[in-house]
Amino acid sequence: EAGVAQSPRYKIIEKRQSVAFWCNPISGHATLYWYQQILGQGPKLLIQFQNNGVVDDSQLPKDRFSAERLKGVDSTLKIQPAKLEDSAVYLCASSLAGSFSYEQYFGPGTRLTVT
Amino acid sequence: RKEVEQDPGPFNVPEGATVAFNCTYSNSASQSFFWYRQDCRKEPKLLMSVYSSGNEDGRFTAQLNRASQYISLLIRDSKLSDSATYLCVADNNAGNMLTFGGGTRLMVKP
């Protein structure tokens, strides 16, 4: 079974530029999560989708971050404009449903460096 | 105060040793707890769920102490391949968000 796919794997941009990340969850997984993991810290949830609806985006910096999950499958996360403190690994995860009885499977992440 | 707090380590132990990590959580209403393992520059992977009665999976044992609001992970007979960062995770009781601790780094040496 294919895992969670993410692209690109690495991205280097200058501050104030824009960047977009893509995620393709495991087939059949209704719930999709975007996490931000800063070096030396644990992952922090940015947004959670159930199919194509947003379940929680309370920790998403909405002035610069946006995310969508059209058709309830693939998802994109965008940062516009980027700041130095956005340098992190952006992890996408998916699960069969939103209940924690279902395991979250993580993708390999996109490592973003903002200079 | 962080919602989920862990000693960052590193814990340096010889092969075959027993090592234990503790993790404290601040939300007394949290219901679901997990340990995830994260290898260097890799994604986190679920190691085990933590049940009220405690649970064991091979060399790994997880315990939950609700009164003191801490979770523990015990690794017996450590292997070189156990070297990784172990992330403690608790839910927010609203059923829609997991909070990860900062991780505890374990290094098992020959």
What is the tens place of the pLDDT at every residue in A60-73? Answer: 999 999 999 988 89
Chain B residues within 8 A of A107 when measuring between CB atoms: 43
Cα gap A73→A91, rounded to integer Å: 16
Is some CB atom of chain B closer than 8 A to the CB atom of A40?
yes
Chain B residues within 8 A of A23 when measuring between CB atoms: none
> How far does B104 lie from chain A, in Å, by closest CA?
10
> How far does B57 lie from chain A, in Å, by closest CA?
16
Strand-pairing partners, residue B100, are: B89
Tell me, what's the pLDDT at B65? 93
Tell me, what's the pLDDT at B45? 96
Q: Does the beta-carbon distance from B8 to A40 stay under 8 Å?
A: yes
Q: Does the beta-carbon distance from A42 to B42 stay under 8 Å?
A: no
Phi and psi, residue A58, nearest 5°: -65, -20
Cα gap B84→B110, rounded to integer Å: 15
Tell me, what's the pLDDT at A72? 86
Comparing B55 with A99, which gets the higher pLDDT? B55
Is some CB atom of chain B closer than 8 A to the CB atom of A56?
yes
Cα gap B95→B90, rounded to integer Å: 10
Q: Does the beta-carbon distance from B87 to A44 stay under 8 Å?
A: no
> How far does A97 lie from chain B, in Å, by closest CA?
11
* Contact in structure between A91 and B43 (CB atoms under 8 Å): yes
Q: How many residues appear in chain B? A: 110
Q: Residue-wise pLDDT tens for chain B (110 aa)? A: 679 999 999 999 999 999 999 999 999 988 889 999 999 999 999 999 998 888 999 999 999 999 999 999 999 999 999 999 999 999 876 666 789 999 999 999 99
Q: Does the beta-carbon distance from A108 to B103 stay under 8 Å?
A: no
Provide the 3-class DSSP secondary structure of residue B80.
helix
Tell me, what's the pLDDT at B31? 86
**In the predicted model, is pLDDT for residue A19 greater than 90?**
yes
Q: How confident is the model at residue A100 (pLDDT cuts 50, 70, 90)?
A: low
Residue A33's contacts (CB-CB under 8 Å, 6 or more residues apart) are A45, A47, A48, A49, A92, A93, A94, A95, A104
Number of neighbouring beta carbons within 10 Å of residue B9: 15
Computed over every residue of chain A, the mean pLDDT equals 94
Cα gap B71→B34, rounded to integer Å: 9
Q: pLDDT by residue (tens digit) across A74-98?
A: 999 999 999 999 999 999 999 987 7
Q: Does the beta-carbon distance from B43 to A41 stay under 8 Å?
A: no
* Contact in structure between B56 and B72 (CB atoms under 8 Å): no
- Nearest-CB residue to B43 (from A45, A91, A103): A91
Q: Does the beta-carbon distance from A106 to B103 stay under 8 Å?
A: no
Chain B residues within 8 A of A98 when measuring between CB atoms: 95-96
